[in-house]
A = this chain, B = another copy of it.
Amino acid sequence: MTELLWGKEPARTRGPKPAITLTAIAEVGIAIADAEGLDAVSMQRVAGELPVTKMALYRYVPGKTELVAVMSDLAMGGPPDRPDLPWREALRTWAVDLYDGFTRHPWLLQSTIGRRLLGPNELAWMERGVAALTGTGLSGGEQLDSILVITSHVRNIAQQSTTFPGHTTGLTEEDMQLSLAEILSTEADRFPHLTTAMRTSAGSENQGLEFGLQRILDGLELLISGRTD
């Protein structure tokens, strides 16, 4: 598995040439996931778009889990190169880059949760994240925790702002808002603070990413400036 993700080929010897490649498989999977959601990716479906049957895929990949892992690391790609910046700006652009990645492939939000083996690209993202924080006086653990907080935030915003192809219950953002509004109107007394908060926030939306990001960066700045004193 680690070998799959890190691209160690087992050095072919005899036997027929493979008809396809792992990367080709992963790319097909990515295309399907992009277009129709992660749930549309089945071994059948992937094989159907390759000159090969379903079972042949198992020659390249131990199981679906591993396929999705390979797809994920490939789709994620590495973090884009950015000029050196002070830690705060560096971390902010890092977060925005990450957000862009998730909006490009929304299914990554599903496929990269929980305990899993990390691929080279995912590690490269982490590398750039902690790199931004070296020299701030934060300990290694604090650096890791910091980028973790930011990652959580970015993921969550991406989740709620991007519209998923397939998979979801077919609810539009409108449906949700509508149902929520209806509930809050009939049960306003049970949720007074929520009701007024919702009402006064009606128009302004979509700056959730920046809001949370600035709060977190502010918090980090406080810690860092206290640390370097």
Residues of A near any B CB (own CB < 8 A): 2, 6, 65, 113-118, 120, 123-124, 126-127, 130-131, 134, 139-146, 148-149, 151-153, 155-157, 159-160, 164, 168-169, 171-173, 175-176, 179-180, 182-183, 187, 190-194, 196-201, 204-205, 207-208, 211-212, 214-220, 222-223
Contact = CB atoms under 8 A, between A and B. Distances in A.
Looking at chain A's contact residues, the main secondary structure is helix
Contacts of A159: 113-114
A164 to B, nearest CB: 7
A3 B208 CA distance: 30
Contacts of A143: 197, 201
A51 to B, nearest CB: 30
A149 B114 contact: no
B223 A130 contact: no
A203 to B, nearest CB: 9
B180 A118 contact: yes
Nearest to A131: B193
A207 B197 CA distance: 31
Nearest to A203: B141
Contacts of A196: 134, 140
Given A144-B197, A148-B156, A153-B152, A176 B115 contact: yes
A222 B65 CA distance: 44
B2 A208 contact: no
A152 B218 CA distance: 17
A114 B152 contact: no
Contact of A215 (B118, B172, B194, B223): B223
Nearest to A171: B115
Contacts of A120: 187, 190
Nearest to A118: B180
A89 to B, nearest CB: 16
Contacts of A152: 152-153, 155-157, 212
Given A152-B153, A159-B113, A211-B145, A123 B219 contact: no
